[in-house]
Structure 1
């Protein structure tokens, strides 16, 4: 049996009255996958491992990641994992997202988020951190502190 199967094959295998072994032979979908979807009808039909988040929760998380560049944050692997960990915790999901989860997430939503590879901070500072930038940053910080006190 090959590892890939179509979404249609999975849906048909789950809906038919055949036992999971017969459905496996007929639709070329793993028996364990058929049984899992029959036990938990609320599972999303995905071709890879099940996600911890629902489609709506993933759309919300994508929206959050899309907002980051507007506030001068770059979406790196480390930033996305930290935010995902906090998001999972806020939803009451006990699993901790890791790099495998993030890779699957990127496969599903890579086009919707502007991803940035992390660069060494020392090199960035060397090239772009000028005296003018430093003084502007402290002026901005002072304005924000005055505004919120």
Structure 2
């Protein structure tokens, strides 16, 4: 249901799923099908793009601290696990919306694009989830 990494049991798996989801958001909404279509969608793409480096850095920190300072690694893992539900909701949204653009050249796709298939509240939910991931990453990386 949530894709290849959905059964994210460890903090490293969660950060990897986050990276995958952010990449899907950036490539689908920001760079491809909906580029320039709506400011809200571009904002979500920019937020997702901005999370990629901190997610990579958090994943690397967890791996590095596992051997040098397990207490710090444990704390970082707990912070990473706290974003799991937000990441899974984002993954579900990317799966749902990406099916909309499976055939971008078709007349049906052009009609759907014209009808703007994204609900404002759906975009607000995604933006909120991205913001909550950002807050956790900010906290974790400030340590």
TM-score of the superposed pair, with normalisation by structure 2: 0.28
Task: Considering Cα pairs closer than 8 Å and 6+ residues apart, tell me whether 1 or 2 has the greater RCO.
Answer: 2
Higher helix share: 2
Structure having the higher Rg: 1
